[in-house]
Amino acid sequence: MKTKTLKKDKVNIVTLGCAKNLVDSEVMLTQLKGNQIDAQHESEKDDSNVIIINTCGFIENAKQESIDTILQYASAKEDGRIDKLYVTGCLSQRYKDDLEAEIPQVDAFFGTMELPNLLKKFKADYKHELVGERLSSKASHYAYMKISEGCDRPCSFCAIPLMRGKHRSRPIEELVAEAKHLAKNGTKELLLIAQDSTYYGLDIYKKRNLAELLEKLSEVEGIEWIRLHYAFPTGFPTDILDVMREKSNICKYLDMPLQHGSSKVLKLMRRGTTREKTEKLVEEIRAKVPGIHLRTTLIVGHPGETEEDFQEMLDFVKKCRFERVGVFTYSHEEDTHAHTMEDDVPEEVKQERAEIVMELQQNISFENNQKKIGQQFKVLIDRKEGGYFVGRTEFDSPEVDNEVLIDAEKHYLRVGDFANVEVYDATDYDLYADPVQ
Ligand code: SF4
């Protein structure tokens, strides 16, 4: 009797959205591999018969990209190029019922907290012993680490709490164990991420405990850079500033989305702060951590934002001179508080305002970079590209901030290594440098 050979599944995970989603995909990959399932992340090879799409549901553009990706693989399934298609992540959490009705080719949709159920599709169990054993998929020398999940903030424009639930901090011991595991596997830079990293500990330690977490992580051998992202201005735990100043392996870098510079719009956004308080906090941060580089994110076109409010935003950006700025145009997201308001700023005005902010920031960045000519910096080499080794200083986060270009014709460096360099030229967002001893 002929025995039927069962085709062994080969899984490819496709990640959309933010670094927090990337970490979830890396955890998924670790769990699948931990169950002896042949799985890979973002494989370019077309040899997988099972696809898992980890979607983003944050704003309109991101939602559209997620839907397009699902439809792309839905047609691959119809053509018989893949056998199974699973969808998880924020878009799936937020619109599961609609998606199930509209895209029946998908075998199953899962929410953001349903990894154990997804694993069951592979007759696999969620292995608690693998918590903290995640492998970084982006690069071996840097890794994102999610210190908490969810968010308790009421920001008017934001749908994230709808998709990620209430704030849940991960215990310090678990995070230190994960950092040790990552360091053992070559990670030198840890990027701490959350929805609101400064809320860390309020749930499990009944106090803001980010300072203690930073202290403990800075003791992990092999971790040379710790970078803090997604700080929130209201209730900011200033005790972390002392740790940042004192610990040489904590980057003098802080990402703190501020969203706007007009107190009136900050009130409409339910950010719980004012322009004055924000400027005072920025001054305190700069005073307590000399040389710190501040990254912020701003939203233009929120309902109720007038030309006058926008001018105040520009004035705020000019005054605070952030080293790094990202701008989003407001997206009218259903079920958010802002969705009860009229989306009264025309799309073209939103775009125009975003461009004006980035033009202003381009000049600020150019002026700052000119001052770096002749200075020496420690640089982490990320890749080789177009005749250059491309790296970052402690003031630059991957994929969003400035880069340092080193001529690969003249110099040889290794990706993943640190190098000391001296800057000889600079543009608005790049520095050109040569290695020094
Ligand atoms: S802090 Fe505000 S903007 Fe950030 S995830 Fe929470 S609700 Fe959204």
Q: How many CB atoms lie within 10 A of CB 232?
A: 22
Judged against a pLDDT cut of 60, whether residue 269 lies above it is answered with yes
DSSP assignment of 171-214: PHHHHHHHHHHHHHTT--EEEEE-SSGGGTTTTTTSS--HHHHH
Structure tokens at 117: 């159920």
Question: Which segments within 1-67 are labelled E, that is strand?
Answer: 10-15, 38-41, 50-55
Q: What is the chain's alpha carbon radius of gyration, rounded to the nearest angstrom?
A: 23
Tell me if residue 365 falls in helix, strand or coil: helix
* CB-ligand 1 contact for 232 (6 Å cutoff): yes
Pairing of strands 376-385, 418-426: antiparallel
Q: CA-CA distance, 431 to 426, in Å (whole number)?
A: 4
- Going from the Cα of 195 to the center of ligand 1, the distance in angstroms, rounded, reads 6
378 pLDDT more than 60: yes
**Of 407, 411, 437, nearest to 424 (Cα)?**
407
Distance 47 CA to ligand 1 centre (A): 38
Instruction: Look at residue 429 and tell me whether its pLDDT is greater than 90.
Output: yes
- Note the pLDDT of residue 135: 73
CA dihedral 59, 64, 70, 73 (to 10 degrees): -140
Q: What is the mean pLDDT of residues 331-353?
A: 97
Question: How far, in Å, from the CA of 236 to the mean position of ligand 1?
Answer: 14
DSSP string, 233-283: STT--THHHHHHHH-TTEEEEEE---B-S-HHHHHHTT-S--HHHHHHHHH
CA distances from 170 to 131, 188, 208, 437 (A): 11, 21, 13, 41
Mutate-to-test residue for ligand 1 from 151, 162, 328, highest number of ligand atoms within 8 A of CB: 151
5 confidence band (pLDDT: 50, 70, 90): low
196 lines ligand 1 (CB under 6 A): yes
Q: Give the span between the Cα atoms of 377 and 372, in whole angstroms.
A: 9
CB 360 within 8 A of CB 322: no
Distance CA 157, CA 73 (A): 31
What is the model's pLDDT at position 7?
63
Instruction: Identify the CA nearest to 89 among candidates 104, 72, 67.
Output: 67
Q: Is 159 in the pocket of ligand 1 (CB under 6 A)?
A: no
Reported as a pLDDT band with limits 50, 70 and 90, residue 44 is confident
Mean pLDDT, residues 394-410 taken together: 97
Please say whether the dihedral angle defined by the alpha carbons of residues 127, 131, 133 and 135, taken in this order, is positive or negative: positive
Six-digit token string for 367: 């002026």
Tens-place pLDDT, residues 146-175: 999 999 999 999 999 999 999 999 999 999
Q: Is 256 in the pocket of ligand 1 (CB under 6 A)?
A: no
pLDDT computed for residue 130 by the predictor: 87
Q: Please report which helix (H) or strand (E) contains residue 311, including its range.
A: helix 307-320
Extract the tokens encoding 148: 């908490």
**pLDDT of the residue at 8:** 78
Tokens of 299: 């939203």
**Mean pLDDT, range 252-277, rounded to an integer:** 98
Average pLDDT taken over every residue of the chain: 96
Q: 158: Cβ below 6 Å to ligand 1?
A: yes
- pLDDT at residue 134, as a whole number: 82
Which of 30, 72, 27 has the alpha carbon at shortest distance from 51? 72
Cα angle 57, 61, 64; round to 5: 70
Q: For the whole model, what pTM was predicted?
A: 0.94
pLDDT average, residue stretch 186-196: 97
> Of ligand 1's atoms, which has the minimum distance to the CA of residue 161?
7
* Rounded mean pLDDT, 39-55: 93
Q: What is the model's pLDDT at position 4?
A: 52
Name the strand (E) or helix (H) holding 391: strand 388-392
Q: Give the pLDDT band (50/70/90) at residue 392.
A: very high
Instruction: Give me the pLDDT at residue 6, please.
Output: 56
Give me 260's structure tokens: 């706007």
Assess whether pLDDT exceeds 70 at residue 338: yes
Q: What CA–CA distances, in Å, run from 310 to 273, 286, 301, 307, 436? A: 17, 25, 8, 5, 45
Q: Is the CB of 59 under 6 A from ligand 1?
A: no
